[in-house]
């Protein structure tokens, strides 16, 4: 232990006593949960969760299971990246799941192919002009949907001062309604080959990882990131420092909306169809990932890395329950308990921190 | 160059029907340190908020550095050279010391609009420098200031002001929540400003401190300036008489 330094007014202060990064705690939780499933698996069903035990295959790990886990969480993980930024500024976004639904419908309408097995597309939304468009068109249209939804969210929150909970709840209901209205409730199918390719194989995982890295860098090294943390930490002080808090919030919600539409493009491409009820509950799963990843719902604290690990924990738990052959109903119940547990843990941690200060 | 760094003429602020500040005529010479005293609700903080443009005044003029000014907000006031320590700590608890010092005026390696890349190394070095000139010791400036004592946090706040001080410093109750030693530290920073010739408006309840530090004392009562007295021409009893309204009516 280092010699205690003498700080202001002779206060003793040990500089070596640096707070353990939150991400490390979350990672430890992740390792414990994986270990728990490994042990339970061997005890209950006599199989390994993590390791490759199949005859005739090589490799140490059960890569099939691991890739399924990460593929499962990649789509919602993309949303969680945006939700993390919103929560860091002290807000919340309940509309992401509905934005996924609305974007999927609209983007898919511009991604349809004219001929299905030599017959005209039975699910055609527009006329021939909208068939077999270049891949860039549905992507740009989709991103615009997220941008508009995020802009409305952000503008409502920043300029009418209504709570983010209410503004995004309104968007949650309206965007879902929009998604149903778009094709009067019918699914939209038969996209072009190139649109299909976006979500095929492990590509959603690459999109997730690339966006996570990008926004980790942005949150850590740019003005945008610094001001996001500042707003969540002390909005009034940030305002008094001359930062345009309102404009910043609009930008944060736009980014969250656009990330939701990226998820929509990925998920509709993966499923090769768009339905109005796509993405139901995604907003809550995304918030859960962020919360499990150690974010503070009061704002100011949390990180993209934490959320990515939170997403992995989320995926491991769902996959682990399937692996243990437990009923899907239990998954939902346990998921709820984990979300509440993570928040309780955060409160408790803050209280103990407060007692020390 | 004008004789005064700051003048206010007929500065008035009303909140609905409440006249928080009435017709305040105030001036501050270059290098002068002035204390603003008065009872709670006398209009001291309101006065400060009009100058720093945290609020927009209802009437009157502010002349800063020879120019009539109408700042749109605190950032503009700050960019013009008015640095303020607010009564409520204007710090973000989850950020470290350099981030707080440079909040709203970050240094960049690369300008990319909102995604401009921060020059963290330069900000860290400048922070250490600033803390050195103000003689504030804060070990491990990379920790979030949440973990620091109230005194250390106030010192960060004051170091921010002192470090960037160019033309005028305003402190609103800087030592209200501090212990004895921490108060002494803040008072040393103020003496340092005096030595550097940086003018100061100090809002304070602490008359001992006021008499120790400033050249002139301005008394507010019920939203009006009732006295402006040189330190060596007055004493504590005199000031208290003005604060409580035993003496008064001398519009200065």
Q: Which residues of chain A does B140 touch, with a Cβ-Cβ cutoff of 8 Å?
A: 13, 15, 18
Class of domain B4-92+165-244: alpha beta
Q: Which residues of chain A does B93 touch, with a Cβ-Cβ cutoff of 8 Å?
A: 233-234, 300
Taking any CB pair shorter than 8 Å as contact, residues of chain A touching chain B are 5-11, 13, 15, 18-19, 218, 221-224, 226, 229-230, 232-234, 236-238, 240-243, 248, 251, 300-301, 353, 356-357
Nearest-CA neighbor of A172 among A193, A196, A150, A202?
A: A150
Nearest CA in chain A to B180: A9
Task: Tell me which of A6, A10, A154, A226 to substitute to probe the interface with B (most B C-beta atoms closer than 10 Å).
Answer: A226
Of B105, B139, B179, the CB nearest to A9: B179
Q: Which residues of chain B does A224 touch, with a Cβ-Cβ cutoff of 8 Å?
A: 114-115
| DSSP 8-state assignment for residue A18 | P
pLDDT digits (tens, 9 = 90+) for B123-165: 999 988 888 776 777 778 888 888 787 777 878 888 888 777 7
Q: Which residues of chain B does A237 touch, with a Cβ-Cβ cutoff of 8 Å?
A: 88-92, 103
pLDDT digits (tens, 9 = 90+) for B92-128: 989 999 999 999 889 999 999 999 999 999 999 998 8
CA distance B185 to chain A (A): 8
How many residue pairs from chains A and B have C-beta atoms closer than 8 A? Answer: 122
Pairwise CA distance, residues A94 & A85, whole Å: 13
State the first-to-last Cα distance of chain B, in angstroms, to the nearest integer.
23
Which long-range contacts (C-beta less than 8 Å, at least 24 apart) are formed by B14-17? B14/B58
Mean pLDDT, rounded, of chain B: 87
Neighbours of B169 (CB within 10 A): 25
Q: What is the DSSP string of A185-245?
A: T--EE-B-HHHHHHTSTTHHHHHHHHHHHHHHHHHHHBHHHHHHHHHHH-HHHHHHTT--H
pLDDT digits (tens, 9 = 90+) for B200-229: 999 998 899 999 999 999 999 999 999 899
Q: Which residues of chain B does A221 touch, with a Cβ-Cβ cutoff of 8 Å?
A: 117-118, 120
Nearest CA in chain B to A300: B94
Helix crossing, A245-271 with A63-88: angle to 10°? Answer: 160
The answer to whether residues B149 and B179 touch, using CB atoms and an 8 Å cutoff, is no
CA dihedral A347, A349, A355, A356 (to 10 degrees): -160
Of B103, B147, B151, the CB nearest to A8: B151
Beta strands A188-189; B4-15: pairing state: unpaired
Pairwise CA distance, residues B21 & B57, whole Å: 9
CA distance B105 to chain A (A): 8
Which distant-in-sequence residues (6+ apart) come within 8 Å of A95 by Cβ?
A149, A153, A168, A169, A171, A172, A175, A257, A260, A283
Nearest CA in chain A to B109: A222
User: Order of strands, edge to edge, in the sheet holding B224-230?
Assistant: B82-85, B168-172, B200-203, B33-38, B216-221, B224-230
Nearest CA in chain B to A296: B94
Pairwise CA distance, residues A287 & A255, whole Å: 16
Pairwise CA distance, residues B84 & B104, whole Å: 14
Q: How would you write the pLDDT of chain A (357 residues) with one tens digit per residue? A: 344 444 444 444 444 455 677 889 899 999 999 999 999 999 988 888 888 877 767 778 888 888 999 999 999 999 999 999 999 999 999 999 999 999 999 999 999 998 888 888 888 888 888 888 999 999 999 999 999 999 999 999 999 999 999 999 999 999 999 999 999 989 999 999 999 999 999 999 999 999 999 999 999 999 999 999 999 999 988 988 888 999 999 999 999 999 999 999 999 999 999 999 999 999 999 999 999 999 998 899 999 999 999 999 999 988 898 888 888 788 778 888 887 888 888 788 777 665 544
Beta strands A119-120; A115-116: pairing state: antiparallel
Of B92, B115, B120, the CB nearest to A238: B92
Q: Which residues of chain B does A233 touch, with a Cβ-Cβ cutoff of 8 Å?
A: 92-95
CA-atom Rg of chain A in angstroms: 22
Beta strands B168-172; B200-203: pairing state: parallel
Q: Which residues of chain A does B112 touch, with a Cβ-Cβ cutoff of 8 Å?
A: 222
CA-atom Rg of chain B in angstroms: 18
Nearest-CA neighbor of B119 among B111, B108, B128?
A: B108
**Helical residues (DSSP H) of chain A, grouped into ranges:** 22-44, 63-88, 96-109, 136-159, 164-182, 193-198, 203-221, 223-233, 235-240, 245-271, 282-292, 304-323, 328-356
Q: Which residues of chain A does B54 touch, with a Cβ-Cβ cutoff of 8 Å?
A: 240
B100 CA to centre of own chain: 17
Of B93, B108, B185, the CB nearest to A233: B93
Q: Do B75 and A7 touch (CB under 8 A)?
A: no
Nearest-CA neighbor of A206 among A69, A317, A313, A78?
A: A78
């Amino acid at each position: 232990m280092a010699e205690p330094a003498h700080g202001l007014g002779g206060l003793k202060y040990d500089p070596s006593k640096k707070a353990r990064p939150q991400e490390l705690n979350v990672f430890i939780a992740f390792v414990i949960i994986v270990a728990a499933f490994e042990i339970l698996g061997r005890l209950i069903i006599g199989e390994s969760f993590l390791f490759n035990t199949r005859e005739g295959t090589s490799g140490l790990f059960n890569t099939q299971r691991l890739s399924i886990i990460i593929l499962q969480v990649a789509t919602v993980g993309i949303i969680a990246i945006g939700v993390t930024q919103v929560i860091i500024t002290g807000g919340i976004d309940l509309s992401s799941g509905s934005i996924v639904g609305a974007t999927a419908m609209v983007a898919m309408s511009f991604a349809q192919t004219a001929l299905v097995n030599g017959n005209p597309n039975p699910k055609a939304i527009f006329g021939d002009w909208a068939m077999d468009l270049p891949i860039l068109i549905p992507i740009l249209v989709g991103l615009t949907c997220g941008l508009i939804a995020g802009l409305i969210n952000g503008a409502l929150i920043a300029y009418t001062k209504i709570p983010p909970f209410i503004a995004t709840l309104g968007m949650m209901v309206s965007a879902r309604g929009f998604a149903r209205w778009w094709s009067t409730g019918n699914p939209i199918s038969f996209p072009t080959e190139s649109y299909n390719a976006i979500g095929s194989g492990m590509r959603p995982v690459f999109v997730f990882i690339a966006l996570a890295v990008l926004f980790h860098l942005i949150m850590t090294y740019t003005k945008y990131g610094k001001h996001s943390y500042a707003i969540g930490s002390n909005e009034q002080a940030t305002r008094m420092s001359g930062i345009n808090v309102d404009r910043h919030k609009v930008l944060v919600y736009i980014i969250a909306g656009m990330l939701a539409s990226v998820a929509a493009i990925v998920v509709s491409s993966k499923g090769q169809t768009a339905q109005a009820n796509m993405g139901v509950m995604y907003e809550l799963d995304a918030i859960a990932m962020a919360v499990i990843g150690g974010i503070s719902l009061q704002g100011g604290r949390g990180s993209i890395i934490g959320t990515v690990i939170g997403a992995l924990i989320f995926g491991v738990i769902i996959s682990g329950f399937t692996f243990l052959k437990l009923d899907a109903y239990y998954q939902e119940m346990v998921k709820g308990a984990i979300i509440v547990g993570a928040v309780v843990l955060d409160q408790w941690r803050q209280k103990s921190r407060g007692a020390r200060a | 160059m004008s004789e005064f760094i700051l003048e206010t003429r007929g500065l008035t602020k009303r909140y609905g029907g409440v006249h928080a500040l009435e017709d305040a005529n105030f001036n501050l010479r270059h290098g002068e340190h002035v204390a603003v005293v008065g009872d709670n609700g006398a209009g001291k903080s309101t006065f400060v908020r009009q100058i720093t443009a945290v609020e927009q005044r209802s009437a009157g003029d502010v002349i800063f550095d020879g120019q009539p000014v109408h700042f749109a907000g605190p950032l503009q006031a700050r960019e013009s050279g008015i640095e303020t320590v607010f009564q409520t700590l204007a710090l973000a608890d989850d950020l470290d010391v350099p981030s707080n010092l440079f909040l709203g005026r970050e240094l960049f390696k690369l300008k990319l609009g909102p995604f401009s890349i921060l020059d963290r190394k330069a900000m860290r070095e400048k922070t250490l420098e600033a803390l050195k000139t103000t003689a504030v010791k804060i070990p491990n400036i990379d920790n979030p200031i949440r973990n620091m004592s109230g005194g250390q946090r106030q010192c960060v706040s004051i170091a921010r002001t002192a470090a960037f001080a160019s033309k005028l410093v305003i402190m609103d109750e800087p030592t209200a929540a501090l212990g004895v030693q921490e108060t002494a530290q803040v008072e040393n920073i103020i003496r340092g400003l005096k030595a550097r010739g940086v003018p100061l408006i100090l809002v304070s309840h602490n008359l001992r401190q006021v008499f120790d530090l400033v050249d002139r004392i301005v008394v507010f009562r019920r939203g009006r300036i009732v006295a402006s007295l040189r330190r060596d021409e007055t004493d504590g009893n005199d000031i208290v008489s003005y604060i409580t309204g035993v003496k008064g009516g001398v519009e200065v």
